[in-house]
Amino acid sequence: MAYNKVAGVAVTGDEDGAHHVISEIAGGLGDIGYTIPGQAWTYWNRGPGPSCSETDEGHEWSEKTGRTIAANPHAVTSALAERPIPA
Domain ranges in the chain?
A: 9-82
Q: Residues with Cβ < 8 Å from 31, sequence gap 6 or more?
A: none
pLDDT of residue 57: 67
In tens, the pLDDT along 4-59 reads 999 999 887 767 788 899 999 999 999 999 999 998 888 766 656 666 667 776 67
Beta partners for residue 44, in sequence order: 14
pLDDT of residue 74: 95
pLDDT of residue 21: 92
Strands 9-14 and 41-44: parallel
